[in-house]
Chain A
Amino acid sequence: MSDQSNQTTYWKSLNELAQNEEYKKYAEREFPENATELTDQVSRRSFLRVMGASIALAGFASCRKPVQKILPYSRQPEDMVLGEPLFYATSMPFQDSVTGLLITNNEGRPTKIEGNQDHPASGGRTSIYNQASVLGMYDPDRSRSPRRNGENVSKNDFVEFAADHFNNNNGRILFIDEATSSPTYHRLKEQILDNYDADWVTYEPFSENNAIEGTQIAFGQRLRTVNHYDEAGLVVALDDDFMSPQAHKNSVENSLKLTGRRSVESVDDSMSRIYSVENAFTNTGSYADHRLRLKSSQIAPFTFALASRLAESVSGLSAFEGVSNDFSGHDWIDVLADELLNNQGGSVITLGAQHSPEVHAAVAAMNLALGNEGSAVTYHELPYRVNRDENQAFIDAISELQAGEFDTVVLIGGNLIYNAPADLNIADALGNAGTTIHLSKYYDETSQACHWHVNRAHYLEAWGDGLSYTGQRSIIQPQIQPLFNGISAVEFLGILLNGEETSGYELVQDTWSDVITSDFTREWERVLHDGLDTESGFDSASVSLSGNFASAVEGSLGQSEVSGIEIAIKPDARVFDGRFANNSWLQELPEPMTKITWDNVALMSAATAESIGINPQRSFRNNDVPKVRISAGGETIEIAAWVEPGHADDSITLTVGYGRSNVGRVADGVGVDTYPLRTTENLFFQAADVEPVGSTYEVACVQDHHSLEGRDMIRTATLDEYRENPDFATFKSFHGFEVPGMKQALEKGDDRGPVSLFNEHYGPDHQPQWGMTIDLNSCFGCGVCTIACQAENNIPVIGKREVGRRRIMHWIRTDRYYEGDPDNPTAYHQPVPCMHCELAPCEQVCPVAATTHSEDGINQMTYNRCIGTRYCMNNCPFKVRRFNFFNYTKEYLTTGNDPEIIQMAMNPEVTVRFRGVVEKCTYCVQRVNREKIKSKIATGSRKPEDGAVKTACQQACPANAISFGDLTDSDSEVSRKKRNDRNYVMLEEMNVRPRTSYLARLTNKNPELA
Chain B
Amino acid sequence: MSKTYEYVPEPALVKGNHDFKDITAMVTDINMRPTPKAWYVAFGISNILLLILLVAVAYLIWEGTGIWGLNQPVGWGWAIINFVWWVGIGHAGTLISAILFLFRQGWRTAINRFAEAMTIFAVMCAGLFPAIHVGRIWVIYWVFPIPNQMAMWPNFNSPLLWDVFAVSTYFTVSLLFWYVGLIPDLATIRDRIKSKIGKILYGTFALGWRGSNRHWWNYEKSYMILAGLATPLVLSVHTIVSFDFAVSLIPGWHTTIFPPYFVAGAVFSGFAMVLSLMIICRKIYGLEDIMTVDHIEKMNIIVLVTGTMVGFAYAMEFFIAWYGGVEYEKAIFILRATGPYAWAYWIMVICNVVSPQFFWSKKLRRHVAFTFVISIVVNIGMWFERFVITVTSLSQDFLPSSWGYYSPTMWDVLTYVGTFGLFFTFFLLFLRFLPMVAVAELKGVMPQADPHNYNKDGEYVPPKIEVPEPTNKSV
Residues of A within 8 A of B (CB): 64, 620-622, 703-709, 711, 713, 802, 805-808, 813, 815-817, 830, 832, 841, 844-849, 865-871, 873-875, 877-879, 882-887, 914-918, 986-987, 989-990, 992
Contact = CB atoms under 8 A, between A and B. Distances in A.
B161 A847 contact: yes
Q: Which 6 A-B pairs have the closest CB atoms?
A: A868-B135, A916-B135, A885-B66, A815-B401, A870-B75, A806-B71
A886 B411 CA distance: 15
A865 B158 CA distance: 15
Interface in B384-410: 394, 396-405, 407
A841 B407 CA distance: 26
A183 B35 CA distance: 94
16 contacts: A622-B405, A703-B401, A713-B401, A802-B66, A807-B72, A832-B401, A868-B65, A871-B158, A874-B250, A875-B249, A877-B249, A878-B398, A883-B75, A884-B135, A918-B135, A992-B249
A879 B399 contact: yes
Contacts of B402: 815, 878-879
B155 A846 contact: yes
Given A847-B161, A870-B76, A817 B400 contact: yes
Given A832-B399, A845-B247, A64 B66 contact: no
B73 interface: yes
Contacts of A817: 400-401
Between A620, A886, A986, the greatest number of chain B beta carbons within 10 A of the residue's beta carbon is seen for A620
Contacts of B401: 703, 705, 713, 813, 815-817, 830, 832
Interface stretch (B137-145, B223-231, B298-306, B308-316): B137-145
Contacts of A986: 398-399
B232 to A, nearest CB: 23
B158 to A, nearest CB: 4
Interface in B231-286: 244, 247-250
Which of B138, B142, B161, B402 counts the most chain A CB atoms within 10 A? B402
B164 interface: yes
Nearest to B390: A874
A170 to B, nearest CB: 63
Contact of A64 (B73, B138, B152, B407): B138
A819 to B, nearest CB: 11
Interface in B306-351: 326-327, 331, 340
B404 to A, nearest CB: 5
A219 B159 CA distance: 74
A878 B71 CA distance: 15
B69 interface: yes
Contact of B399 (A841, A845, A847, A877): A877
A503 B407 CA distance: 58
Nearest to B328: A711
B136 interface: yes
Contacts of A871: 75-76, 158, 160, 244, 248
A465 to B, nearest CB: 43
A706 B402 CA distance: 10
Most chain A CB inside 10 Å of its own CB: which residue of B138, B155, B160, B397: B155
B115 to A, nearest CB: 31
Nearest to A987: B398
Interface of B: 63-66, 69-73, 75-76, 133-136, 138-140, 142-143, 152-155, 157-161, 164, 244, 247-250, 326-327, 331, 340, 394, 396-405, 407
A877 B397 contact: yes
Contact of B70 (A706, A866, A885): A885
B73 A887 contact: no
B158 A844 contact: yes
Nearest to A918: B135
B399 A869 contact: no
A44 B126 CA distance: 54
A849 B164 contact: no
Contacts of B70: 870, 883, 885
Contacts of B135: 866-870, 883-884, 915-918
B155 A875 contact: no
B160 A844 contact: no
Given A868-B134, A875-B249, A846 B398 contact: no
A709 B248 contact: no
Contacts of A990: 249, 398
B58 to A, nearest CB: 14
B344 to A, nearest CB: 12
A614 B133 CA distance: 41
A529 to B, nearest CB: 43
A845 B138 contact: no
A815 B399 contact: yes
Nearest to A705: B403
Given A64-B138, A846-B158, A875-B249, 19 more contacts: A621-B407, A703-B401, A805-B71, A806-B404, A807-B71, A815-B401, A815-B402, A817-B400, A867-B135, A867-B142, A868-B134, A871-B158, A873-B72, A874-B394, A879-B398, A885-B66, A914-B136, A915-B136, A918-B135
B398 A875 contact: no
Contacts of A992: 249
Given A807-B71, A847-B143, A869 B160 contact: yes
A849 B142 CA distance: 10
A711 B328 CA distance: 9
Contacts of B71: 805-807
A113 to B, nearest CB: 28
B142 A868 contact: no
A886 B66 contact: yes
Contacts of B139: 867
Contacts of B142: 848, 865, 867
Given A867-B136, A879-B402, A709 B331 contact: yes
B133 to A, nearest CB: 7
B65 A847 contact: no
Contact of B155 (A711, A806, A848, A877): A848
Nearest to B66: A885
Contacts of B407: 621-622
Nearest to B244: A871
Contacts of A882: 72
B158 A805 contact: no
B306 to A, nearest CB: 28
Contact of A874 (B76, B340, B396): B76
B76 A620 contact: no
Nearest to B398: A877
A866 B63 CA distance: 18
Contacts of A848: 142-143, 154-155
Contacts of B152: 849, 865
Contacts of A916: 64-65, 134-136
Given A844-B158, A877-B397, A806 B64 contact: no
B87 to A, nearest CB: 17
B140 A875 contact: no
A816 B402 CA distance: 11
A471 B139 CA distance: 59
Nearest to A885: B66
A268 B94 CA distance: 71
A879 B143 contact: no
A711 B400 contact: yes
A927 B62 CA distance: 35
Contact of B400 (A708, A866, A874): A708
Contacts of A914: 136
B386 to A, nearest CB: 15
Contact of A808 (B72, B160, B396, B400): B72
B73 A879 contact: yes
A868 B398 contact: no
Contacts of A866: 135-136
Contact of A867 (B64, B72, B140, B397): B140
Given A703-B401, A848-B143, A873 B75 contact: yes
Contact of B134 (A865, A869, A884, A989): A869
Contact of B249 (A816, A841, A887, A915): A841
Contacts of B396: 705
